[in-house]
């Protein structure tokens, strides 16, 4: 009989809580992710989805609990140095330099990574090949989002943290987003998405964050309960 140890999760949130502005935003979150895994964060406005992603990206630290990458606490400086190189972040702020061409906006990041040759194919995949040499200021909202997605593919880092990645995308764009997520996971990549909109991801885990403040009763609730009779 062989007794093989279960593999250490690539990413583990162990009883993690987070405080922002003296307010408890996340409470006792437990998540375990292996290569190829996907997690979808949902919840009402202000429930802490962006806070969750920002904490994973190292912008803030858990107030309790630990985030472990390959079993190591990512808040330790030696570990964080390696961990942050695994991350690719797509937020509502698009980090597009208006003065650069569309292609340069991806190439710049690719060159910083010491990589080359992936930017144009990534743009073409996202349907923006013909705009490659245009100044980025001509881009529409959805096109800007597509540039961000092309950047994800060109940089090709293992852990994707995506905050509302489908906002401003048309149906074809959402299809492309779903496609690149599926391909990334096939290669063993991990994807964590905060979203209010449905995004198809096979076998994804779902984490619905509870509302931070209980909803105030509406007029409809009060009528239903006969409180206004």
Ligand X SMILES: Nc1ncnc2c1ncn2[C@@H]1O[C@H](COP(=O)(O)OP(=O)(O)OP(=O)(O)O)[C@@H](O)[C@H]1O
Contact positions toward ligand X, by CB under 6 A?
20-21, 25, 43, 45-51, 194, 212
Nearer to ligand X, 103 or 161 (CB): 161
Residue placing its CB nearer to ligand X in the complex, 50 or 136: 50
The number of beta carbons lying within 10 Å of the beta carbon of residue 130 is 10
Cβ atoms of 18 and 32 closer than 8 Å: no
* Nearer of residues 56 and 180 to ligand X, judged by Cβ: 56
Shortest Å distance, C-beta 91 to ligand X: 10
Q: How far is the C-alpha of 53 from the C-alpha of 165, rounded, in Å?
A: 13
Contacts 24+ apart (CB under 8 A), 25-33: 25/51, 25/212, 26/51, 26/52, 26/55, 26/62, 26/209, 28/65, 29/65, 29/207, 31/205, 31/207, 33/9, 33/190, 33/192, 33/205
Distance in Å, CB of 43 to ligand X, minimum: 5
Whole-number Å distance between alpha carbons of 211 and 45: 8
Give the separation between CA 203 and CA 144, rounded to whole angstroms: 29
Nearest-approach distance from CB 116 to ligand X, in angstroms: 35
When the beta carbons of 87 and 128 are compared against ligand X, the nearer one is 87
DSSP state letter for 21: T
In the complex, minimum distance from the CB of residue 83 to ligand X, in angstroms, rounded to a whole number: 21
Q: What is the DSSP letter of 189?
A: -
User: Coil, strand or helix: which one is 109?
Assistant: helix
Give whichever of 47 and 148 is closer to ligand X, judged by the CB atom.
47
Instruction: Find the helix or strand (DSSP H, E) in which 28 lies.
Output: strand 23-33
Query: Looking at beta carbons only, is 5 or 93 nearer to ligand X?
Result: 93
Report the nearest approach of ligand X to the CB of residue 167 (Å). Answer: 10
Tell me how far, at minimum, the Cβ of 99 lies from ligand X, in Å. Answer: 28
């Amino acid at each position: 009989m062989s007794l093989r140890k279960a593999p250490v999760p690539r990413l583990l949130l162990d009883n993690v809580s987070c405080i922002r502005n003296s307010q408890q935003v996340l409470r006792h979150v437990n998540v375990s992710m292996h290569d190829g895994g996907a997690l979808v964060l949902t919840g009402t406005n202000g429930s802490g989805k962006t806070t969750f992603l920002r904490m994973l990206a190292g912008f803030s630290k858990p107030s309790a609990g630990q985030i472990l990458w390959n079993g190591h606490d990512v808040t330790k400086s030696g570990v964080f140095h390696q961990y942050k190189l695994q991350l690719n972040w797509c937020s509502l702020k698009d980090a597009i330099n208006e003065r650069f061409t569309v292609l340069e906006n991806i190439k710049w990041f690719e060159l910083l990574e010491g990589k080359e040759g992936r930017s144009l194919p990534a743009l073409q995949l996202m349907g923006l090949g013909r705009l490659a040499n245009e100044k980025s200021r001509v881009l529409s909202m959805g096109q800007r989002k597509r540039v961000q997605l092309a950047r994800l593919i060109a940089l090709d880092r293992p852990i994707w943290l995506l905050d509302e990645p489908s906002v401003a995308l048309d149906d074809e764009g959402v299809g492309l987003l779903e496609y690149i997520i599926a391909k990334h996971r096939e290669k063993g990549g991990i994807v964590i998405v905060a979203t209010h909109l449905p995004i198809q991801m096979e076998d994804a885990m779902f984490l619905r964050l509870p509302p931070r403040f209980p909803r105030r009763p509406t007029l409809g609730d009060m009528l239903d309960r006969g409180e206004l009779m």
